[in-house]
Chain A
């Protein structure tokens, strides 16, 4: 699945929110690639900018937010400069999105069949959609069956409230896939679901990727879920990516001290009897970001150099990490203890 042309390329992206006279940079130096057919996980705690990233890619930022630097290219085409009409062609057809709460995305007053048919029509010219209702409805039923809605033939005429949370999420996925987008952005799609349903939805997403080659950008706070579903992962902290690599290496040998702490903080039965790793302090406020490394105040390996220039996002063994410890030119002097802990 890897090694292909990048489908989505985000480069040096910066997003700024305006709050009165103040501006807060919510996303900075954001760079990533999603390759065709790949599942890329974006993980981070609240406020790290992961949802701002998905909103920026979809060009759905809140009114007070704007892309202030960088580029977002889909199949080589720059999305930043697109006009609304062009954007509508991209959304749905090229990039589709599913959210944590499907109820906010489904219209409660229409039968789901109607919504699934309308979504297809919206991307057709007036002429080509003529006389297609029966065909579009059949495709909707097919898609519902594929995402695991039982009795789709009958259920297609039901309203959103007549479905359970897990079923609604399946309907959202069906809706997103009807136009066969190359990229699906999933923002915490299983966070509101029980664990057995969550496992079912993850299974479904994984199957869709295998069968249709749909690339997925999977945004989550749940490292467990990411480790089970994704091929590669980007770890975000305070508006920046801090580590990126294939899932197996990042989870087995995390490089960034933040990733290390995050993984050590997850309770599991293997950690019984031992204290969980905690990270002192809080995520810095966007209004008051520290100089240099944004994690410096909470990092056990901090040295003076980390409070100077911002750390670079450097390549290490086919991965990337934003940490001076791994940058031979940063002036960081790895002490024996650090060496031990990171190797």
Chain B
């Protein structure tokens, strides 16, 4: 991470979160810069949600260093933690389970003010919040079950925005939504990000979403980072075989790509209870060798801002092995 640290909002160093034998997050170094949209990509079991929750201190005790704007999150007292949580908000994956079914939208939107004892002149009105997420004022009197999936997602976003946060963590913001509703949510998040100068951490398994919104992309595999870098580098010139496998498996709506699809990752993600030694991806990687099975790779800078954890990145790059047929 050679970037000027003045721009860093969140700094993670050797972050570890184990649940008993499950090593959900197992040594992650990552910076999130002020004003950027960072896409955190990984398949189920990669630890991406746990990592995000650790930043918000929603994952219980976590090892390693988590600095938010210079402050160590792991050591905050309850008062400071409450202040932090006003600056950082989470948009949950399933709005129907995160919004209480017994409360009307108007109450759900203003509840954060009650909980945080926000002075009346610092509050947005319900109408303002609904307007921000492009919902009509009539929605205020509705209950969550009366909303469509897309509308509920917007209420979740409005609720997160109520406290004027600077940093928004969105967990699978479009999963479960139909194509057109998902597009509307992504457009909205993009607009709000620009208008309000938000920093986003978007957690998703969907590379198309990340390709569309993210400035930088971090790829997780079994609790560790495989690759991180500027979106265009990671997508066009992936340095890690796992990133290349994800991109190759991506089903884009373009029939001409069919002939170019290659299947690079065999088998399935192993259990995080007993991750493979050495490089965690070696059990599925066509390029793994003895060293990969023995020695865990460290993140190395392979191009400006692009870091890859693979012993063989130089050889693979020189041979063009990970080039996608596009």
Chain A contact residues, CB within 8 Å of chain B = 45-46, 164, 166-167, 194-200, 202-203, 221-228, 247-248, 251-252, 261-269, 271-272, 275-279, 282
Q: Which residues of chain B come closer than 8 Å to A265, judged between CB atoms?
A: 179-180, 182-183
- Whether A199 lies near B249 (C-beta < 8 A) is yes
Q: Mark B167-187, 1 if CB is under 8 A from A, else 0.
A: 000000000001110111011
How far, in angstroms, from A199 to B254 measured CA to CA in the complex? Answer: 15
**Chain A, Cβ-Cβ closest to B256:** A248
Q: Mark B226-241, 1 if CB is under 8 A from A, else 0.
A: 0000011001000000
**Chain B, Cβ-Cβ closest to A281:** B180
**Chain B, Cβ-Cβ closest to A250:** B255
**How near does chain A come to B281, taking the closest CB pair, in angstroms?**
11
- Whether B255 lies near A278 (C-beta < 8 A) is no
- Whether B208 lies near A267 (C-beta < 8 A) is yes
A-B pairs with beta carbons under 8 Å apart, 24 shown: A194-B43, A194-B44, A196-B245, A196-B246, A199-B263, A203-B263, A221-B179, A225-B251, A227-B253, A228-B261, A248-B255, A262-B179, A265-B180, A265-B182, A266-B179, A267-B182, A267-B183, A267-B208, A267-B212, A268-B208, A269-B231, A269-B232, A276-B186, A278-B184
Given contacts A267-B183, A275-B187, 5 further A-B contacts (CB under 8 A): A198-B249, A227-B252, A263-B253, A269-B208, A275-B190
Q: Does B213 contact A (CB under 8 A)?
A: yes
How far, in angstroms, from A265 to B253 measured CA to CA in the complex? Answer: 11
- Whether B255 lies near A247 (C-beta < 8 A) is yes
**How near does chain B come to A189, taking the closest CB pair, in angstroms?**
13
Leading 9 A-B pairs by shortest Cβ distance: A269-B211, A267-B212, A199-B249, A224-B251, A265-B183, A276-B183, A194-B43, A45-B178, A279-B180
Q: Which one, B184, B250, B268, contacts A164 given CB within 8 A?
A: B268
How far, in angstroms, from A194 to B267 measured CA to CA in the complex? Answer: 12
Q: Which residues of chain A come closer than 8 Å to B235, judged between CB atoms?
A: 269
**How near does chain A come to B146, taking the closest CB pair, in angstroms?**
13
- Whether B250 lies near A223 (C-beta < 8 A) is no
Q: Which of B142-198 contact A (CB under 8 A)?
A: 148, 178-180, 182-184, 186-187, 190
Interface centre among B190, B231, B252, by most chain A C-beta atoms within 10 angstroms, is B252
Q: Which residues of chain B come closer than 8 Å to A226, judged between CB atoms?
A: 253
Q: Does B269 contact A (CB under 8 A)?
A: yes
With A227-B254, A228-B251 in contact, do A195 and B43 touch (Cβ < 8 Å)? yes
Q: Which residues of chain B come closer than 8 Å to A261, judged between CB atoms?
A: 180
- The size class of the interface chain B forms with chain A is 35 or more
Q: Which one, B184, B231, B255, contacts A251 given CB within 8 A?
A: B255
**How near does chain B come to A192, taking the closest CB pair, in angstroms?**
10
**Chain A, Cβ-Cβ closest to B212:** A267
How far, in angstroms, from A196 to B187 measured CA to CA in the complex? Answer: 27
Interface centre among B183, B190, B235, B258, by most chain A C-beta atoms within 10 angstroms, is B183
Q: Which residues of chain A come closer than 8 Å to B249, judged between CB atoms?
A: 195-196, 198-199
Q: Which one, B212, B251, B255, contacts A198 given CB within 8 A?
A: B251
Q: Which residues of chain A come closer than 8 Å to B183, judged between CB atoms?
A: 264-267, 276-278
With A248-B255, A252-B255 in contact, do A224 and B250 touch (Cβ < 8 Å)? yes
- Whether B251 lies near A272 (C-beta < 8 A) is no
Interface centre among B179, B211, B232, by most chain A C-beta atoms within 10 angstroms, is B179
Q: Does B311 contact A (CB under 8 A)?
A: no
**Chain A, Cβ-Cβ closest to B43:** A194
- Whether B253 lies near A278 (C-beta < 8 A) is no
**Chain B, Cβ-Cβ closest to A279:** B180
With A45-B180, A267-B186 in contact, do A224 and B252 touch (Cβ < 8 Å)? yes
Q: Which residues of chain A come closer than 8 Å to B182, judged between CB atoms?
A: 265, 267
- Whether B251 lies near A166 (C-beta < 8 A) is no
How far, in angstroms, from A222 to B186 measured CA to CA in the complex? Answer: 17
With A228-B258, A276-B187 in contact, do A199 and B180 touch (Cβ < 8 Å)? no
Q: Which of B69-123 contact A (CB under 8 A)?
A: none
Q: Which residues of chain A come closer than 8 Å to B212, judged between CB atoms?
A: 267-269, 271-272, 276
Q: Does B209 contact A (CB under 8 A)?
A: yes
- Whether A228 lies near B208 (C-beta < 8 A) is no
**Chain B, Cβ-Cβ closest to A277:** B183
- Whether A224 lies near B263 (C-beta < 8 A) is no
- Whether B186 lies near A228 (C-beta < 8 A) is no
Q: Which of B236-282 contact A (CB under 8 A)?
A: 245-246, 248-258, 261, 263, 265, 268-269
How far, in angstroms, from A262 to B253 measured CA to CA in the complex? Answer: 11
- Whether B251 lies near A199 (C-beta < 8 A) is yes
With A268-B211, A269-B211 in contact, do A199 and B248 touch (Cβ < 8 Å)? yes
**Chain B, Cβ-Cβ closest to A275:** B187
**How near does chain B come to A155, taking the closest CB pair, in angstroms?**
14
Q: Which one, A196, A223, A251, contacts B265 given CB within 8 A?
A: A196
Q: Does B205 contact A (CB under 8 A)?
A: yes
With A198-B251, A278-B184 in contact, do A46 and B178 touch (Cβ < 8 Å)? yes
- Whether B211 lies near A267 (C-beta < 8 A) is yes
Q: Which residues of chain B come closer than 8 Å to A164, judged between CB atoms?
A: 268
Q: Does B12 contact A (CB under 8 A)?
A: no
Q: Which one, A166, A196, A221, contacts B178 given CB within 8 A?
A: A221
